[in-house]
Amino acid sequence: MTATATLTRHAPDNADSRVVDWVDSIAELTQPDRIVWCDGSAAERQRLLDEAVAAGTLIRLNPEKRPNSYLARSNPSDVARVESRTFICSEREDDAGPTNNWAAPAEMRVTLTGLFRGAMRGRTMYVMPFSMGPVGSPLARLGVQVTDSPYVVLSTGTMTRMGADALAQIGPRTEWVPAVHSVGAPLQPGDADVAWPCNETKYIVHYPETREIWSYGSAYGGNAILAKKAFALRIASKIGEQEGWLAAHMLLLKVTNPSGRAFHVAAGFPSACGKTNFAMLKPSMPGWTVETIGDDIAWMAPGPDGRLRAINPEAGFFGVAPGTGHSTNPTAIATVQSDTIFTNVALTDDGDVWWEGLTEETPSHLVDWLGRDWTPDSEAPAAHPNSRFTVSADLCPSIADTWDDPAGVPIDAVIFGGRRATNVPLVAQARSWEHGVYIGATLASERTAAAEGTLGELRRDPFAMLPFSGTHMADHWQHWLTVGERLGRSGQAPLIFQVNWFRRGEDGRFLWPGFSENSRALAWMTERIEGRADAVDSPFGLVPVDGAIDYAAAGVSREDWDALFAIEPEALSAEADDTDVFLARMGAKVPAAVMRQHAEFRARL
């Protein structure tokens, strides 16, 4: 019996032979000291937590302040997604498109084989079977990730349905996504595995045709929790294209009006556009309720009834901490009250956590994310700007009772939104599915600080998928059009809307209060679905008639309300010129429907 066979002989009896053989092959390459097949049990999780605390990789927080919660501090060089080291290795470069990094698959395999050879020496390889979506759902898909990071195991256990139930779903003919991860820091005799391990060399690689993911050198969530962006968006966008469904970087929510009718909404926003706040919205309007289904990713497929049905493929939230506070998102704060792993936030003197924006009052002393003493006079922030919390979705007070329904929820509306100081109105309805795809394809946010680029410069983020599409972006647009044609034949395609909470006046202040008042725009959308609200035409689509939204109740003056919908033809014409350049960059694959809608937008100006 070989050393590898000895390591894997404890694979569960029900493990499919293909999975066992694959694990054998990765163990042969990476040479771990032992292999653990994760069962996803509470006992297993507690054992890993206790071991991490003993090793110094996690700090147990004050159980009275933050029960069953922990703080992790990463290597300062390993704090975010590394888009420059993220590759789509499709067989043809053209299939990756101009927005992705591409490398020839055969060449990349040679590179990665060299890096992974012996990479887990001295460490434990954990085998994590997982389901994206409720186990057994027709909309769910399966994967198996191996990793040498206990932090990744704990995070994956929160973010997916990981363990024995998922493994039992993989039979001899079941499709599953293989994912390999290593921190790339093999232990030598005498080394102590205490500090957050990583490697200066980093690769996050996707092979769309074989549906594989390989990640090396990073332990940060977006690079290492491969079920999340890597599988649920990059690989899933290719699978969905082949199978006729949509992988979308979108939140999912359920909104119920005062008469008790429920609507389900999918919404795509680029970063810093209020996505999590909208997913956990507390309406300002009496009688309305909003419930959370998902805050980040949606998988949507035409159902047997002809309607677009959606699941949240994740089981948890991997949220950005800074800016999340009692005043901006009390629901998120209640969600992380217990059973949470925080990464790179500050530690209070009484064993709790803190970050910028959590409270109005700043503590007089903290230990910052680097483990240093911190006071309000310190030059650097106490928490890293990309610090995170990882918590189960079922702990969210606003979670809908249908959030993990295996059948998914029927989508009534799709929303796109960006951070726009000018040009784009508060809310507008697309004239058609085709027009809505054009809105999503040309989605943009304006840069808000000179440090991020030229102030006011447009940053295109089509479908909020710029860093996350595993296909050519124009192919992604065409796929949305194709799914829309299928839905159109059933007469049940969702309406598509565009929103902008961030328009500013000439004096620089926001014209719309946002947050809970966004429910007023959401209510108008649901009334459009019901056919109860009137609209008038504009270059952007259909906008509310005067009186359709009670803006005065939101504290907005008539002057500001008019400014929220003001049309500036010269500015919009210049933006159309910028769109010309953007679409030209996408090349010959841009769908004719998108070009047609762009021409119509120009004509309406």
How far apart, in whole angstroms, are the C-alpha atoms of residue 128 and residue 390? 18
What letter represents residue 15's amino acid? A
Q: Which residues pair with 410 in a beta bridge?
A: 309
The residues, ordered by sequence, that sit 6+ positions from 367 with a Cβ below 8 Å of its Cβ are: 346, 347, 373, 374
How far apart, in whole angstroms, are the C-alpha atoms of residue 437 and residue 477? 7
What are the Cα distances from residue 504, in Å, to 273, 424, 425, 517? 14, 11, 11, 16
CA dihedral for 232, 156, 254, 252, sign (positive or negative): negative
How far apart, in whole angstroms, are the C-alpha atoms of residue 116 and residue 31? 9
How far apart, in whole angstroms, are the C-alpha atoms of residue 2 and residue 8? 10
How far apart, in whole angstroms, are the C-alpha atoms of residue 296 and residue 275? 8
3-state secondary structure of 270: coil
* 25 is an annotated ligand-binding site residue: no
Residue 218: name the closest of 205, 237, 209 by CA.
Answer: 205
* 184 is an annotated ligand-binding site residue: no
**DSSP string computed for 60-114:** EPPTTTSTT-EEE---TT-SS--GGGEEE--SSHHHH-TTSB---HHHHHHHHHH
* 227 is an annotated ligand-binding site residue: no
Task: Quickly count: other Cβ atoms within 10 Å of residue 269's Cβ.
Answer: 26
* 254 is an annotated ligand-binding site residue: no
Strand duo 203-207 + 86-88: pairing: parallel
Q: Are 128 and 154 in contact (CB under 8 A)?
A: no
3-state secondary structure of 602: helix
* 274 is an annotated ligand-binding site residue: yes
Q: What are phi and psi of 8, to 5 degrees?
A: -100, 5
* 517 is an annotated ligand-binding site residue: yes
* 273 is an annotated ligand-binding site residue: yes
Strand duo 413-417 + 212-216: pairing: unpaired
How far apart, in whole angstroms, are the C-alpha atoms of residue 102 and residue 469? 12
Cα 549 → chain centroid = 31
Q: Are 434 and 595 in contact (CB under 8 A)?
A: no
Rounding to the nearest 10 degrees, give the CA dihedral for residues 235, 236, 242, 248: -130
CA dihedral for 302, 303, 307, 311, sign (positive or negative): negative
Residue 428: name the closest of 443, 412, 439 by CA.
Answer: 439
* 45 is an annotated ligand-binding site residue: no
* 89 is an annotated ligand-binding site residue: no
Catalytic residue among 89, 198, 273, 396: 273
* 516 is an annotated ligand-binding site residue: yes
* 518 is an annotated ligand-binding site residue: yes
* 75 is an annotated ligand-binding site residue: no
Q: Are 336 and 355 in contact (CB under 8 A)?
A: no
The answer to whether residue 273 is catalytic is yes
* 312 is an annotated ligand-binding site residue: no
> Binding site membership for GTP: which residues?
272-277, 388, 419, 515-518
Active-site annotation, residues: 273
> Binding site membership: which residues?
81, 220-222, 229, 249, 271-277, 296, 386-388, 419, 515-518
> Binding site membership for Mn(2+): which residues?
229, 249, 296
